[in-house]
Structure formats: structure tokens, C-alpha cells
């Protein structure tokens, strides 16, 4: 049985996890992405639980920069070809170990990191072969609440869910 209490960092892919995986190009080199407000609220709950968030993606997007800024995600790494190497760098910087990491990806480019972290997850619409190799499969699709499901799962396993929600609500009432 896994000991979820040691998870201190949640790493997320963007396309297919935080977003629905669609990349929409507009005029003037504008790129559009769709993000879930449910995922956003889940990420905000982590602020009250002591779990940090990082986003690692192979693409580069101004929309993602804005989303991470809105959600106060400090660790954003774009145009990353070797996600496993980037995770190792983050662990060194934050003085964490693999047992402290949960990761949600959706395809083969995430697999080297998914197989190394302590708790691995995918959205329901992830690559079918990757789904057979992870610890948690969300019911929701990428960009449609899968991240929130994973966050709620972690917080409940850690016994921190109720307090994180209460602290979040109290913060809203003070603001």
C-alpha cells in the first residue's frame, strides 16, 4: 500500500492534461488553449495543503504562461524535450526525493517521468497503452477536470482535503 503522506510536489503536463490537447491557431500567430476552472480550483486548494505544483511541457504557449500566473504556479518549464531530466533538476532544486512526487501526463513523452515518480496518473482520454502503466486513471478527460480529480484523490489520501477546503473558503471570506 502506498504512503501518500510524503507527496509534496505535483507535476503536470499541459496539452492533454491541463488542456484538452487541442491546439487552436488564430491569425497573428495567436494560439488558444482551453483550461478547466475545476482544475484551477483544485490547484488553488493545494496552496492550503503544502503541496507545490510544477508544469512541464514540450510546447511553448503564452496562454499557459498566463494560466500559471493566474494560478500562482511558480514552476513552469516550456519547450522541454526530456521531461525526466527536468524532474530531476526540480527535485535537486527543491531538495525532494522521488517519493515526494506525483505526476500527471498523458502520452509517451511523459512516460519516463511517470514510471519514476511515486504516484503516476493520466486523464481518461490518455494514450491507451500509457493507461496500463500508471497508478491512477481519472474519470475525466484532460482539460475537463482530470487534474482536479487527481488533486482531490491525493488530498483525501493525505487526510488534508477537508482542511484545505475549509482554509480555502476562509481565505475567500477574508478577501
Fold (CATH) for 4-174: Rossmann fold (3.40.50)
pLDDT (0 to 100) of residue 175:
61
C-alpha dist (Å) from residue 124 to 51, 67, 128, 143: 23, 22, 9, 11
- Residue 53 backbone phi and psi in degrees, to 5: -125, 140
Closest residue by Cα to residue 35 from 60, 63, 56, 76: 63
In the structure, what pLDDT confidence band is assigned to residue 32 with cuts at 50, 70 and 90?
confident
Residue 26: the pLDDT is 80
| pLDDT tens digits for range 94-153 | 999 999 999 999 999 999 999 999 999 999 999 999 999 999 999 999 999 999 999 999
Amino acid at each position: 500500500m502506498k504512503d501518500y503522506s510524503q507527496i509534496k510536489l505535483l507535476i503536470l503536463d499541459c496539452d492533454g492534461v491541463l488542456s484538452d490537447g487541442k491546439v487552436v491557431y488564430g491569425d497573428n500567430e495567436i494560439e488558444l488553449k482551453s483550461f478547466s476552472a475545476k482544475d484551477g480550483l483544485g490547484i488553488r486548494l493545494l496552496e492550503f495543503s503544502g503541496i507545490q505544483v510544477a508544469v512541464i511541457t514540450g510546447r511553448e504557449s503564452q496562454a499557459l504562461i498566463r494560466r500559471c500566473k493566474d494560478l500562482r504556479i511558480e514552476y513552469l518549464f516550456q519547450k522541454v524535450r526530456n521531461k525526466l531530466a527536468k524532474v530531476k533538476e526540480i527535485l535537486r532544486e527543491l531538495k525532494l526525493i522521488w517519493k515526494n512526487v506525483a505526476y500527471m501526463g498523458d502520452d509517451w513523452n511523459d512516460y519516463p517521468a511517470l514510471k519514476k515518480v511515486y504516484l503516476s496518473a493520466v486523464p481518461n482520454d490518455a494514450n491507451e497503452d500509457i493507461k496500463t502503466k500508471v497508478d491512477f486513471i481519472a474519470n475525466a478527460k484532460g482539460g475537463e477536470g482530470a487534474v482536479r480529480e487527481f488533486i482531490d484523490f491525493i488530498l483525501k489520501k493525505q487526510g488534508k482535503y477537508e482542511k484545505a477546503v475549509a482554509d480555502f473558503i476562509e481565505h475567500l471570506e477574508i478577501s
